[in-house]
Each structure stands twice: as structure tokens, then as C-alpha cells.
């Protein structure tokens, strides 16, 4: 049943029963009609129960409060929904890598930690094992090389890299932004900077570009300017850190470098070309020697004329002395002479003196001192005249210092000669008089390495002369017997055990020399026997030496000089003493007494241990008998020696 609307009297009120609005009463008289409201009604008519238009919520005065409530309810619902989504997203992704994170091109954002670790290992493993390309410098001067990351100790630190990505942000705005943005995280490496530095050092020959100072070189006789080229070297201190940070990058690792500047300017090169290089090869140059000249062609000049930076942007010319000497020796080598010692020529036991020869050598550093200056002069019209020294009259002794040529002119320099005196002079041997071998001795049975040391000491001692009243010292005459003097490692006895040392075998030469002086009748000053008896030496008549501690010394107690002569072969060494014979010498060797058993010495822990037979100790007396060749008088010189037992060496564990 439909209830008709209540009529509204003029100036009165009307009450509408609206099930959607419990307060629909308003005063029509107090509130004039709103034209906008009427328009709204017309645009959206709604039939009431009796067919009349019904007021809507958007009508003025008809539904404002209801609209605000709906907006509040709707907005609250949206906020609640967003809050719910935030909480859900926070709970779901709490253990994940933040969204949008990329590591070296690998997207791990939103993954849980295990999945992110697997993704990084799977996709970056090829990069971890591939050679790392290093580049030093830029442009044309750039240099490259590679290192092996494994040998350099480089590896990816997966855990630290994921830690670097951080955690999910709590800020709602940042979480919302993560849906629409990306973030790159650099991979974190682990490695030993020292090992990385060593790998870089091995690659530096390919990476460093040392600067090259400008110079002038010669193509035959044509000078060619060479411009300066700045360079660079790897900064060894900073490079390992750069490699650790960037070795996993897809591009080569650019190493820090230190620039190496140059000092020679192009103006300096041009000046040296004009003032020095071009005039130098305009014609030949000359070295004036004794009896011969050396001609240096323009092409040969180009082989030894060099240019160095002068520190002020220019070039300083110089002569490469060894290279120039090679050229000059071709013509002047025959004008030099090696010194020759005076020697004896033997006819039986008698000896005559063969005169010494003074040596002559060209001092090439002094010779070439003025050559650069000479090369700057114009080419000579004719070569310089050859210098010929004055002849030596027949029977006259050649001068020790030969005559010098006059000063050279033009593009020529004089050869500067020096004299080298012989070790044994003619006068020294002539002072001996009609010399004969007054004492000699020979030993043998040495090893090849000991033989080399015996040969070397024999070379040093051969020709030594001892003036009347002087004392000869073997250690003092030879000086240190080490590798720099030509001595080698050979067998020695050390603490009773065979060992090796530089100069092994010198004691055999000392024994040979001692016996030669013994039979020459010279005065003994100092000598010491070995602690153990050695079968190849005469018992009681042998000697040992040790640098700085044990020496062999004898004195020439005669009135004329003596000379020591040595004769070495690969199997023997002989020493002769030449001079004026004063004595006939013999040796009387007594019996061996006071025997001491050798015993046994076991050296299981000595790495140098070698088994050997023992030798019993004993005491023996040797007597030198000297008979004066002029008076017939005889004197004796006994000497008693006690040898220690040399134990048998075993190496049993």
C-alpha cells in the first residue's frame, strides 16, 4: 500500500520519510532554492514513491554529511589495504636481497640469500677464472698484459658482496621506490695484496713504458734524429688495490701509473744535428800512431759517435771508446807490444839472460779526448803525415818512453802511448851473474781442480826475484787466493774430514817451493808442516799454508839475487831456484818413532762425511846438511816433527 506524500502548506514545513537519510527535514522558507541543485536534480532525476523527484546525496543540503562519511570510509579502506600490503610484503621479503640490486650485471634483487649466492657463483665463476687484462697508460703509449687470478690469489667474496647489498628497507616510500629503480653493487674480492703485487710485477715488463730521451743515430753515414718519447711505469704501491677492486669488471683494469718525463727537446736535437752530427760525417778522421795512422771513415764515425742528454734540453756528443778502439786497432794494433819478462836461456845447468821487452799500449780514453772537437772541423784536404820515430843506434837500448809525434791538426788526434814495464827486468837477472839451478823439487799426484789452483799460484810466483837480505813470503807475494784471483774450489782437509774450499791444493805448491829452497841452501824463516803425514810428501820435509794464519817464508842470505822459476804440467809441479851456488845440500831422514795408533772416528751426522783409512801418528827428525862449495865446511840443521794420528773415518749411523 502506497502512502501519498504529505501536502505542504504555504510557509509551512514538510517531512519526507527517506530510508537513506534519517534527518531530511529542512525549512523551505528559510533556505531559497539553489539553482545548481535544481540543475543537478534535472541531470539525475530519481522518481520517488509518488513519482516526484527525490533528493540525492549530491544535492545541496540534501546529502553533504553522507558524502563525507563515504569518503572517510573509502579512504580508510585504501589506507588499511596499503598497510596490509606493506606488512605482507615486509613479512614475505624479510630475508631477501633488496629489490633492484644488480652485481656485475647479475640481478639478485628479491632473491633469498641462498638463491643469490648460487646466482652469483653460477654466473660470475667464468669471470673468476678468466685471465685478468691489465692496461697501463692511455692512447698510443697504452700497454696491456694479463695475469692469472688463481695464481694471484684472487677470488670473489660472495658473502661479503651480498652483505654489501644490505637488507630490505623499512621505509614505505623506499620500498615502494624499489619496484621502479635499480641499484648496482660492486662485487667484493678477497685476495692477498702481496700476491697480487707479485703477479703485477711479473707483468710489468709488458706494462711499463720507460721514457726514451731523444738522440741522434746514424744510418750508415747519415745522421737521423730520434724524438723524445715520454713514458710511464706502474704505480706498484697503488696497483694491487685497484686490481682487487676492479678485476671482475667486464672491461680491462686500468692501473695507476707514474709518468716519466723527458728532458731532451726537439730544439736540442735540431741543434746537435746542425752543429755536431752533420759536420762529423762530412769526411774521414784520423788517429796518428807510431809508424802508422788509422783512418776513420764517415760510416765508422757513425758507429762510435753517441749523444747523451745534457740536462738542459740539448744533447752532449761523446765517443764510445770501445767501439772507436775496435776501428782504430785495425790499423794501430801492430804498433803496440806486450811486455816480456827477462828470462834465462839454459845450456845444461848454466843459464844466460834473455833481455826483457818493455810493453807499449795505446791509452785510448786519452787518445779520443779531443776527437769530438776534431770532428767538428772541416774535412781535411789530405791525410796527415805518418810519424816515424828516430831510429835506435846499433847496440843502444831502446828508450823506455818512445818519441811522441807533433800535435795533430785538422780532423786528426794523436795516439797516446803508455809503457808497461816487465815484471822481471833484464837488470834483475843480470845481477844474478852466471846463474845456475841451485835447488829444485817436483811433486805430482794432484786432482784436476787442485791442479788449477797449483797452476794459478805457480803463474803468480814464476819469475819472482829475491834481493840479497830480503825475505820472500808466499802469502804476501800472492795476496788473497780467492775466486777473483782465478782460484777455484778444490779438496781440503777440514777438522780431519775431507771437504772442499777455494784454493785447495796450495799446500802442495808450498811443499814443492819449500823443498826447492831447502836444497838451494836458503835461510828458513817460517814454515809449518801438516798435522797429519801425507804419503806423497817427504816426511818431516813438507809445508802447509793458510791465508792470514800460516805462511811460508825464506830469506836470501847470499850476496847475489835469486830467481824463482815454476814449471807446471797437468800432472806435476816443479820449482827451481836460480842463482849463485853456495852449498851442496843433502837430506838425512831419521826413523819413525813414538807411534800412535790411528783409531776410529765415526761421523754419522756429518753430511760431508766420507770413509777413509787412518794413518798412525809418529815422530821423525830430518837433518839438512849444507857443504860450502868454496871452503868445504859442513853444517847441519836438524828439525824434529811430530805427526798426529789421522783416524780412520767411518760414517755409520
Nearest to 119 by CA among 208, 187, 191: 187
SS3 315: strand
CA distances from 222 to 39, 53, 284, 298 (A): 108, 117, 14, 9
Segment 84-110 shows an average pLDDT of: 67
**pLDDT tens digits for 229-252?**
999 999 999 999 999 988 888 899
For the chain, the domains span: 26-55, 266-390+397-420, 431-650
What pLDDT is recorded for position 653? 79
Q: What is the pLDDT of residue 63?
A: 54
- Residue 378 C-alpha cell reads as 772541416
> What is the rounded average pLDDT of the residues 438-464?
91
Q: Distance between CA atoms of 524 and 151, rounded to whole angstroms?
A: 68
Give the number of other CB atoms < 10 A from CB of residue 356: 20
The answer to which of 167-171, 312-316, 336-340, 627-631 has the lowest mean pLDDT is 167-171
pLDDT band at 30 (very low <50, low <70, confident <90, very high): very low
- Give the separation between CA 507 and CA 498, rounded to whole angstroms: 15
| pLDDT tens-digit series, residues 277-296 | 999 999 999 999 988 999 99
Contacts 24+ apart (CB under 8 A), 332-335: 332/287, 332/289, 332/292, 332/294, 332/362, 332/415, 334/292, 335/289, 335/290, 335/291, 335/292, 335/360, 335/362, 335/415, 335/417
pLDDT for position 6: 45
Query: Helices H, strands E: what count in the chain?
Result: 17, 36
pLDDT at 612 over 90: no
Distance of alpha carbon 602 from the chain centroid: 45
HEC assignment per residue over 98-157: CCCEEECCEECCCCEHHHHHHHHHHHHHHHHHCCEEEEECCHHHCEEEEECCCCCCCEEC
Q: How confident is the model at residue 517 (pLDDT cuts 50, 70, 90)?
A: very high
Cell 671482475 belongs to 248
Q: What is the pLDDT of residue 79?
A: 56
Mean pLDDT of 341-370: 83
pLDDT of 275 above 70? yes
Pairing of strands 497-502, 489-494: antiparallel
Determine what percent of the chain is predicted with pLDDT higher than 70. Answer: 78
Model confidence at 362: pLDDT above 80: yes
- Residue 505, φ and ψ in degrees, nearest 5: 105, -10
- Half-sphere exposure (Cβ direction) of 466: Cα atoms closer than 13 Å: 26
Q: Which of 128-137, 376-385, 408-417 has the lowest average pLDDT?
A: 376-385
The predicted-structure confidence for 122-152, as pLDDT tens digits, reads as follows 888 887 888 999 999 888 779 999 999 988 8
Q: What is the pLDDT of residue 179?
A: 54
User: Diameter of the chain by CA atoms?
Assistant: 191
Does position 78 have pLDDT exceeding 80, yes or no? Answer: no
**Residue 28: all three cell numbers together:** 523551505
Q: Which CATH architecture has domain 266-390+397-420?
A: Roll (3.10)
Spatial distance between the Cα atoms of 372 and 319, rounded to a whole number of angstroms: 7
User: Residue 254 pLDDT > 50, yes or no?
Assistant: yes
Q: Is the pTM of this model over 0.75?
A: no
pLDDT band at 181 (very low <50, low <70, confident <90, very high): low
Residue 194 sits at the vertex; the CA angle it makes with 189 and 197, to the nearest 5 degrees, is 85
Beta strands 285-288 and 412-414: pairing type?
parallel
Is residue 545's pLDDT more than 80?
Answer: yes
The mean pLDDT value for 594-605 works out to: 88
Mean pLDDT of 376-399: 76
User: Given this model, what pLDDT does residue 537 score?
Assistant: 93
| Residue-averaged pLDDT of the chain | 82
| C-beta separation of 181 from 100 below 8 A | yes
State yes or no: pLDDT of 172 exceeds 70.
no
Q: Which residues pair with 503 in a beta bridge?
A: none
* Nearest in space to 327 (alpha carbons), one of 377, 272, 273, 367: 367
Q: At what angle do helices 506-520 and 448-461 cross, to 10 degrees?
A: 50
Residue 359 has pLDDT above 50, yes or no: yes
Higher pLDDT, 382 or 267: 267
528 pLDDT higher than 60: yes
Amino acid at each position: 500500500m502506497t502512502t501519498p506524500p504529505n501536502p505542504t502548506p504555504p510557509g509551512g514545513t514538510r517531512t519526507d520519510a527517506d530510508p537513506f537519510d534519517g534527518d531530511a527535514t529542512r525549512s523551505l522558507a528559510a533556505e531559497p532554492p539553489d539553482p545548481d541543485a535544481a540543475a543537478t536534480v534535472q541531470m539525475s532525476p530519481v522518481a520517488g514513491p509518488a513519482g516526484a523527484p527525490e533528493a540525492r546525496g549530491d544535492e545541496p543540503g540534501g546529502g553533504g554529511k553522507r558524502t563525507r562519511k563515504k569518503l572517510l570510509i573509502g579512504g580508510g579502506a585504501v589506507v588499511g589495504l596499503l598497510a596490509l600490503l606493506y606488512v605482507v610484503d615486509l613479512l614475505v621479503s624479510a630475508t631477501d636481497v633488496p629489490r633492484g640490486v644488480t652485481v656485475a650485471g647479475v640481478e639478485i634483487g628479491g632473491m633469498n640469500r641462498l638463491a643469490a649466492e648460487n646466482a652469483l657463483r653460477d654466473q660470475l665463476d667464468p669471470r673468476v677464472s678468466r685471465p685478468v687484462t691489465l692496461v697501463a697508460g692511455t692512447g698510443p703509449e697504452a700497454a696491456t698484459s694479463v695475469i692469472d687470478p688463481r695464481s694471484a690469489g684472487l677470488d670473489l667474496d660472495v658473502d661479503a658482496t651480498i652483505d654489501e647489498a644490505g637488507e630490505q628497507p623499512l621505509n614505505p616510500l623506499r620500498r615502494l621506490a624499489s619496484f621502479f629503480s635499480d641499484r648496482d653493487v660492486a662485487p667484493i674480492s678477497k685476495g692477498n695484496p702481496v700476491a697480487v703485487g707479485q703477479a703485477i710485477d711479473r707483468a710489468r715488463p709488458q706494462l711499463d713504458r720507460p721514457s726514451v730521451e731523444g738522440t741522434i743515430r746514424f744510418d750508415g753515414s747519415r745522421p737521423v734524429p730520434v724524438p723524445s718519447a715520454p713514458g710511464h711505469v706502474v704505480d706498484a704501491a697503488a696497483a694491487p688495490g685497484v686490481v682487487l677492486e676492479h678485476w671482475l669488471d667486464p672491461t680491462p683494469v686500468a692501473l695507476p701509473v707514474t709518468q716519466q718525463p723527458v728532458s731532451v727537446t726537439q730544439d736540442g736535437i735540431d741543434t746537435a744535428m746542425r752543429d755536431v752530427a752533420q759536420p762529423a760525417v762530412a769526411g774521414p778522421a784520423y788517429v796518428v800512431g807510431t809508424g802508422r795512422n788509422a783512418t776513420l771513415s764517415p760510416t765508422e764515425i757513425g758507429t762510435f759517435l753517441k749523444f747523451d742528454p745534457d740536462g738542459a734540453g740539448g744533447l752532449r756528443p761523446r765517443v764510445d771508446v770501445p767501439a772507436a778502439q775496435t776501428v782504430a786497432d785495425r790499423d794501430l794494433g801492430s804498433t803496440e807490444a806486450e811486455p816480456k819478462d827477462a828470462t834465462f836461456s839454459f845450456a845444461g845447468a848454466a843459464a844466460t839472460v834473455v833481455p826483457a821487452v818493455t810493453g807499449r799500449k795505446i791509452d785510448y780514453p786519452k787518445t779520443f779526448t779531443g776527437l769530438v772537437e776534431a770532428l767538428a772541423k772541416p774535412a781535411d784536404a789530405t791525410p796527415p803525415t805518418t810519424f816515424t820515430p828516430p831510429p835506435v843506434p846499433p847496440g843502444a837500448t831502446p828508450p823506455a818512453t818512445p818519441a811522441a809525434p807533433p800535435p795533430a791538426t785538422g780532423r786528426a788526434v794523436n795516439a797516446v802511448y803508455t809503457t808497461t814495464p816487465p815484471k822481471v827486468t833484464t837488470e834483475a837477472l843480470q845481477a844474478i851473474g852466471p846463474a845456475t839451478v841451485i835447488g829444485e823439487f817436483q811433486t805430482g799426484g794432484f786432482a784436476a781442480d787442485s791442479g788449477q789452483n797449483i797452476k794459478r799460484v805457480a803463474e803468480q810466483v814464476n819469475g819472482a826475484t829475491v834481493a840479497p837480505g830480503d825475505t820472500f813470503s808466499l802469502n804476501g807475494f800472492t795476496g788473497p787466493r780467492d775466486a777473483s784471483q782465478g782460484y777455484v774450489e778444490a779438496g781440503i782437509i777440514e777438522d780431519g774430514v775431507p771437504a772442499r774450499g777455494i784454493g785447495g791444493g796450495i799446500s802442495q805448491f808450498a811443499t814443492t817451493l819449500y823443498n826447492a829452497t831447502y836444497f838451494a841452501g836458503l835461510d828458513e824463516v817460517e814454515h809449518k808442516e801438516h798435522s797429519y803425514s801425507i804419503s806423497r810428501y817427504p816426511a818431516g820435509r813438507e809445508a802447509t799454508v793458510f791465508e792470514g794464519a800460516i805462511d811460508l817464508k825464506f830469506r836470501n842470505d847470499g850476496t847475489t839475487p835469486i830467481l824463482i822459476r815454476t814449471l807446471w804440467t797437468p800432472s806435476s809441479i816443479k820449482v827451481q831456484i836460480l842463482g849463485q851456488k853456495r852449498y851442496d845440500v843433502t837430506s838425512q831422514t831419521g826413523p819413525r818413532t813414538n807411534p800412535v795408533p790411528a783409531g776410529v772416528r765415526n761421523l754419522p751426522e756429518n753430511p760431508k762425511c766420507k770413509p777413509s783409512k787412518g794413518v798412525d801418528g809418529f815422530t821423525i827428525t830430518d837433518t839438512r846438511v849444507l857443504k860450502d862449495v868454496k871452503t868445504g865446511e859442513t853444517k847441519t840443521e836438524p828439525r824434529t816433527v811430530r805427526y798426529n794420528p789421522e783416524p780412520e773415518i767411518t760414517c755409520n749411523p
